[in-house]
């Protein structure tokens, strides 16, 4: 092993138990379990509250402090020798409606396992080491993703999100209140508590680590994104009687628009990410020409200049291609790309090497809560491989040994950060 890690960091990493971590992951996967092996545990639902209760029980069983802020971000504290800003690790517990057993929840339970490993190794740290579970990262129920980390970091005020209506018609404000009321004995703290540094472990959600046979990536940056909602208006008509010439078929208009956007987004370097994930037509009847088509555009790139150049052309390109149908394009989200501090990236890279774990640097294709914590404190991410790069899907899978490797790197880094005063 390299000499770069302190003895305490190395000992704590060694105390991480792959079996214990896996058993907590599998216990969580039972909450909201789907018959297809996946998980549906959307933000601020009954299942989310059940998952929180389970975690709070484990934390109290270990004697850790538990607190929650007004965004329902849940914190678990292993105190340090000094009452100073903690080092923080975690991720989110909510899943996509047809999600898997690792996205998000791995980061939360890796952080919890790090606290337990510190106990097992009998290590005291200078700073407290905290675990966090951020609220509503996925945006599957409430369209405002990363609600918890955005409001915690001050990127946008929590009040902005409170009126958002979920896919089930429930208002975010009410779902938050219900979740907070369900755990009345948890200490309430304010939003935006001071943090020394934040590390988020996560499955890669891509194929790179698996294809290279490596367990660890030190994440250098998160690509930016722009989301658009496109509405194409045409004219309904009878499928049997309306001549093809002169039709204003909204779905055919949408199809031409998407073909043109495919061409706009074509990229030999395969860096652009362009996805039409949702499409709906009206009246959606087999023998009626669609009068209206709506689709979403998810466009991502690591460079802000490219996000601007291509994203700004979406509306014109779609409108021109869909004519004679008319097109309305609304930008529903924009997140700038962000690079993590070199000191934090190097810390993870060095820790992995010291633990004899293969490591590369990688940019993140997905956004994460870390994109927003980076506004408030030094932030970094650790990726571990997932099978076939699949996530947001019941088939999502990661190997126990890879999950443990990421948790060892996390634990070592937390000790290093917590002892640097």
The yes or no reply on residue 411 touching its own copies (CB under 8 A) is no
Neighbours of 160 (CB within 10 A): 12
The yes or no reply on residue 298 touching its own copies (CB under 8 A) is yes
The yes or no reply on residue 10 touching its own copies (CB under 8 A) is no
- The region of 53-61, 74-82, 149-157, 290-298 touching its own copies under the rule CB under 8 A is 290-298
The yes or no reply on residue 288 touching its own copies (CB under 8 A) is yes
In the complex with its own copies, which residue's Cβ is closer, 74 or 398?
A: 398
- The region of 11-19, 95-103, 119-127, 176-184 touching its own copies under the rule CB under 8 A is 95-103
For the CB of residue 250, give the shortest distance to its own copies in the complex, in Å: 11
For the CB of residue 352, give the shortest distance to its own copies in the complex, in Å: 21
For the CB of residue 137, give the shortest distance to its own copies in the complex, in Å: 11
For the CB of residue 259, give the shortest distance to its own copies in the complex, in Å: 7
Among 2, 275, 330, 343, binds its own copies (CB under 8 A): 275
Tokens at residue 380, please? Answer: 């970094």
Among 7, 285, 328, 343, binds its own copies (CB under 8 A): 285
Among 161, 198, 251, 372, binds its own copies (CB under 8 A): 251
Report how far Cα 384 is from the mean position of its chain's Cα atoms: 14
Site for its own copies in 185-204 (CB under 8 A): 204
**Where do we find the tokens 């076939």?**
388
In the complex with its own copies, which residue's Cβ is closer, 130 or 138?
A: 138
For the CB of residue 273, give the shortest distance to its own copies in the complex, in Å: 6
Q: Is 330 exposed, middle or buried, given 0-12, 13-18 or 19+ CB atoms closer than 10 A?
A: exposed
Among 65, 358, 365, 400, binds its own copies (CB under 8 A): 365
In the complex with its own copies, which residue's Cβ is closer, 53 or 259?
A: 259
In the complex with its own copies, which residue's Cβ is closer, 74 or 318?
A: 318
For the CB of residue 393, give the shortest distance to its own copies in the complex, in Å: 4
Among 75, 102, 198, 367, binds its own copies (CB under 8 A): 367
The yes or no reply on residue 399 touching its own copies (CB under 8 A) is no
In the complex with its own copies, which residue's Cβ is closer, 76 or 293?
A: 293
Per-position x/- string for 140-159, each x denoting binding to its own copies as judged by CB under 8 A, each - no binding = x-------------------
Binding site for its own copies (CB under 8 A): 96-98, 139-140, 204-207, 223, 225, 227, 235-246, 249, 251-252, 255, 258-259, 262, 267, 270, 272-281, 283-291, 296, 298, 300, 364-367, 389-393
């Amino acid at each position: 092993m390299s000499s770069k890690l302190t003895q305490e960091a190395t000992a704590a990493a060694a105390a991480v138990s792959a079996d214990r971590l896996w058993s907590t992951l599998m216990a969580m996967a039972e909450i909201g379990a789907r018959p297809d092996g996946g998980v549906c545990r959307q933000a601020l639902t009954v299942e989310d509250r059940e998952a929180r209760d389970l975690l709070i029980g484990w934390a109290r069983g270990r004697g850790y402090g538990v607190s929650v802020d007004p965004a329902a971000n849940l914190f678990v504290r292993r105190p340090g020798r000094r009452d100073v800003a903690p080092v923080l690790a975690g991720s989110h517990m909510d899943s996509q409606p047809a999600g898997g057993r690792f996205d998000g929840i791995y980061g939360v339970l890796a952080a919890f396992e790090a606290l337990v490993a510190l106990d097992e190794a009998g290590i005291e740290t200078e700073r407290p080491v905290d675990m966090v579970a951020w609220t509503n990262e996925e945006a599957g129920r409430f369209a405002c993703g990363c609600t918890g980390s955005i409001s915690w970091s001050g990127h946008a005020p929590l009040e902005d999100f409170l009126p958002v209506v979920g896919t089930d018609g429930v208002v975010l404000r009410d779902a938050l209140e219900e979740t907070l009321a369900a755990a009345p004995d948890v200490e309430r703290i304010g939003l935006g508590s001071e943090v020394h540094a934040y590390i988020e472990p996560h499955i890669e959600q891509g194929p790179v680590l698996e294809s290279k046979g490596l367990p660890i990536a030190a994440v250098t940056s998160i690509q930016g994104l722009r989301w658009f909602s496109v509405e194409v208006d045409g004219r309904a008509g009878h499928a049997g009687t309306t001549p093809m010439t002169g039709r204003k078929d909204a779905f055919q208009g949408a199809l031409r628009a998407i073909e043109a956007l495919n061409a706009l987004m074509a990229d030999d370097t395969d860096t652009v990410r362009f996805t039409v994930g949702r499409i709906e037509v009206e009246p959606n009847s087999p023998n009626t020409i669609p009068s209206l088509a709506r689709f979403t555009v998810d466009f991502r790139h690591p460079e802000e200049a490219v996000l601007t150049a291509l994203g700004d052309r979406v509306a014109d390109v779609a409108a021109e291609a869909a004519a004679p149908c008319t097109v309305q394009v609304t930008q529903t989200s924009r997140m700038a790309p962000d690079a993590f501090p070199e000191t934090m990236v190097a810390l993870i890279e060095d820790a992995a090497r010291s633990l004899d774990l293969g490591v590369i640097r990688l940019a993140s294709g997905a956004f994460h809560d870390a994109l927003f914590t980076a506004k408030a404190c030094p932030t970094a991410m650790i990726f571990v491989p997932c099978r076939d790069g699949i996530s947001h899907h019941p088939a999502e899978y990661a190997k126990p040994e890879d999950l443990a490797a990421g948790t060892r790197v996390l634990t070592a880094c937390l000790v290093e950060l917590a002892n640097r005063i």
